[in-house]
Amino acid sequence: MKFIIFITLLFPCIQALAYPNFIGKGYHACLTCHYNPFGNGPLNDYGRAVGASAIADRLFVSKDTTDEELGDSSGFLFSKPNQSWFRPSLDYRGMQLDRQIDQDEPIRKFIHMQMDATITLKFGKSDKYIATFTHGVIPDNSVKVSRRGNKELQFSKEHYIGFRPIQELGIYLGKMDKVFGIRVPDHNSFGKLYGNLHQYSASTGVLLHWGKEKFDWGIQAYDGKGHVEKIESEQTKGYTTKFEYSVHKEVRVGVSILTEEDPNQNQKDMKAITAKFKVGNGSSLMAEFGEIINTTKTNLETTSNYMFMQNHLNLTRGLFFMTTIEYFQPNTSNQFEFYSIAPGVQYFPWQRVELRAEVQNVRTFNDDKNTPITNDMWNFIGQVHLWF
């Protein structure tokens, strides 16, 4: 407790933590725990300390070890940083994906989704100046054929410099994730996948952030041209903006608008409304409703709708029962629709370790009489996430 108060005093103007579902712990803004004001990327000292001392379970941690001590050892490779300007970190995320587990021969695959090495430099009072560089590697067996022809992928995941002349205002230049919707790590969700907001979508540009206790607003101009990790249709340039406002200490709502164009002059316009709710002590509910309009160079327009909802029920320290519910209609002019529901558990047994296991049910609705109904698809998704 003393440690939390100490940290809060040390960083008086920041309030939140890692995943957006931590609104359940009372954290509304991303900047509290991340260098990026809209989340994702490396955690700052506070984020690491809170993750260690308040979020993760204490499995196999001796009773004599206090939460303060856990917070102290939350730095790179279990250390306490002895200087204030240099913060290295490593991130790994792997996924066991078993498709059609109800069939006799399920399709099983282990995918290395993320292998990142990051260096962050920070200077000035309350990290006034920051520079962060993340290099990502995806082994050949984990890259889709359509993306790199099964070749190992090495790329700069993000690199940017940031300047906050005053605590409420920040200007960021470089390669960053696009500011849109709720930034969850589920990059394969319909909205992220079809909205070009997945793990390869970070683009080079400029981001302006204005945030106070009650709100966060960001506007970003970007260009993804020439990025080695992107296929051609993903190398888009455009603008995006997002505004989030805490209408209540337990409710934060938001709106996002994006417009972009790929090198072949195909245009994508997106808008979404979001809501995040704190439920009791540690639980949360998040929802995003969005529309994606794709317009080809020849003016053919396709409108898609999606819904993403994720609920976290905090069972005990570090352990959550979660349910991810998705809806996707790829083209509103026909009645082809997907429903997906994935109940599962998320567990942080120790600091630096996250485990996640879900069973996903995917159901399709199709009003076309000539298309038969397909059996529900059942998948197992197991994830391990490590950060050092």
Partner 1 sequence: MVLKLVLFIMLFSTCVYAKKSARTIYYKAAQKQYLKKKYKKSIRTLEKYYQIRNPKNLPTAVIQLLALNFLKTKQLKSSSRYFHYVIRRRYKKLHKRVINALENETIEDMKVPQKLLRIYYHLGEIYYKIYHRTKITSYFRASEKYFNICEIKEHLDDNASEYLEYLAKLKTQVDQKEFKSDWFANVGILNWQEKLELQSQSTGSKTKLLSNARALCVGGGYRYSNAFHGIEISACGFSGSAKITANSTASYSQDGVAVTGFLLDSGYIIKPKSGKGSLTISLPLFYRDGEYSQPENFSILGQGQLSAGVMLKGRYELPLIDFTTSIGSLGWTNLFMMQAGYTF
Residues that bind partner 1 (CB under 8 A): 248, 250-251, 277, 279-283, 285, 311, 313-316, 321, 323, 325, 339, 341, 343, 361, 363-367, 369-376
Interacting residues of 47 by C-beta distance below 8 A, sequence separation 6+: 17, 18, 32, 33, 34
Which CB, 177 or 326, lies closer to partner 1? Answer: 326
CB 18 within 8 A of CB 33: yes
* Of 5, 1, 27, 23, residue with least CA distance to 14: 27
Which CB, 188 or 366, lies closer to partner 1? Answer: 366
Q: How far is the CB of 251 from partner 1 (least distance, A)?
A: 7
Q: How far is the CB of 323 from partner 1 (least distance, A)?
A: 5
* Distance in angstroms (rounded) separating the CA atoms of residues 176 and 162: 11
Which CB, 256 or 324, lies closer to partner 1? Answer: 324
Task: Specify the DSSP class assigned to residue 25.
Answer: G
Which CB, 243 or 339, lies closer to partner 1? Answer: 339
* Distance in angstroms (rounded) separating the CA atoms of residues 196 and 272: 14
**Could you please report the per-residue DSSP string of 150-194?**
T--EEEEEEEEEEEEEETTEEEEEEEE----S---S-TTSHHHHH
Tokens 């059942």 belong to which residue? 378
* Distance in angstroms (rounded) separating the CA atoms of residues 14 and 10: 10
Q: How far is the CB of 339 from partner 1 (least distance, A)?
A: 6
Q: How far is the CB of 99 from partner 1 (least distance, A)?
A: 17
* Distance in angstroms (rounded) separating the CA atoms of residues 148 and 133: 23
Which CB, 140 or 376, lies closer to partner 1? Answer: 376
Sign of the alpha-carbon dihedral angle for 66, 71, 74, 75: negative
* Distance in angstroms (rounded) separating the CA atoms of residues 37 and 177: 11
Which CB, 38 or 190, lies closer to partner 1? Answer: 190
CB 348 within 8 A of CB 318: yes
* Distance in angstroms (rounded) separating the CA atoms of residues 384 and 357: 9
* Distance in angstroms (rounded) separating the CA atoms of residues 192 and 186: 8
Which CB, 176 or 362, lies closer to partner 1? Answer: 362
Q: How far is the CB of 322 from partner 1 (least distance, A)?
A: 9
Q: How far is the CB of 47 from partner 1 (least distance, A)?
A: 22
Which CB, 193 or 251, lies closer to partner 1? Answer: 251
Q: How far is the CB of 282 from partner 1 (least distance, A)?
A: 6
Amino acid at residue number 106: P
Q: How far is the CB of 341 from partner 1 (least distance, A)?
A: 5
* Distance in angstroms (rounded) separating the CA atoms of residues 155 and 141: 16
Q: How far is the CB of 67 from partner 1 (least distance, A)?
A: 18
Which CB, 69 or 98, lies closer to partner 1? Answer: 98
Which CB, 59 or 231, lies closer to partner 1? Answer: 59
* Distance in angstroms (rounded) separating the CA atoms of residues 148 and 385: 24
Q: How far is the CB of 370 from partner 1 (least distance, A)?
A: 5
* Distance in angstroms (rounded) separating the CA atoms of residues 381 and 368: 31
